[in-house]
Amino acid sequence: MGLAQYLVYLLHSAESSADSSARSQDLFCGLNSQGCTVNLVTGTVADIADVRIAVDCRPRPISGVLHLSMVLQDRALLQMTLEDWKAATMPKVTGTWNLHHVFEHHQLDFFLLFSSLVGHQGYSCQANYAAGSTFLDAFAQYRRSLGLLLM
């Protein structure tokens, strides 16, 4: 098994700090040095239009999906605002549904969701992130019940 030759990377537009930009640039340079061509699309997986744009701009057919969203808004649940809740859950919940709908009829080699142990073990200041991760686990069962590919 080798590295993918082509990658479409949907980069959340809020990821604009110098540190995150440098990390992304390091990732892309590393992938490029191994022979992988990266298409960078700015947007959010929580917006189905952005997902469709990312899919439409691809240079080759998409063989698989890796969903690795992670937004942390750590606060105790009683101090958490609705915006804190949405910031951590939307990429995981809405983003997963968007990827599912856009790729539901594609022939994929893999559809891989990354959740967190926080969804099972809990962490007092990450109820929102835990909820998103627990959703991913439940969604995996749903997708399997439809007979769709999932890893």
Query: In this predicted model, what pLDDT tens digit does every residue of 47-72 receive, in sequence order?
Result: 999 999 989 888 788 888 888 888 88
Q: Using 50, 70 and 90 to split pLDDT, how confident is the model at 1?
A: very low
- pTM tops 0.85: no
Sequence-separated contacts (24+) of 44-49 with Cβ below 8 Å? 44/10, 44/12, 44/13, 44/14, 44/91, 44/95, 45/10, 45/12, 45/69, 45/91, 45/94, 45/95, 45/98, 45/99, 46/90, 46/91, 46/94, 46/95, 46/98, 47/98, 48/98, 48/101, 48/102
Identify the pLDDT of residue 16. 52
Reported as a single tens digit per residue, the pLDDT across 34-46 is 877 777 788 889 9
CATH of region 6-146, choose from 1.20.970.10, 3.30.420.80, 2.60.40.3710, 3.40.50.720: 3.40.50.720
Q: Which pLDDT score is estimated for 74?
A: 85
Q: What is the pLDDT of residue 4?
A: 65
For position 125, what pLDDT does the model report? 84
pLDDT tier at 145, thresholds 50, 70, 90: very high
Question: Does the pLDDT of residue 17 top 70, yes or no?
Answer: no
Model confidence pLDDT, tens digit, residues 93-130: 999 999 999 999 888 888 989 887 776 676 778 888 89
Whole-number pLDDT of residue 96: 96
pLDDT value for 49: 96
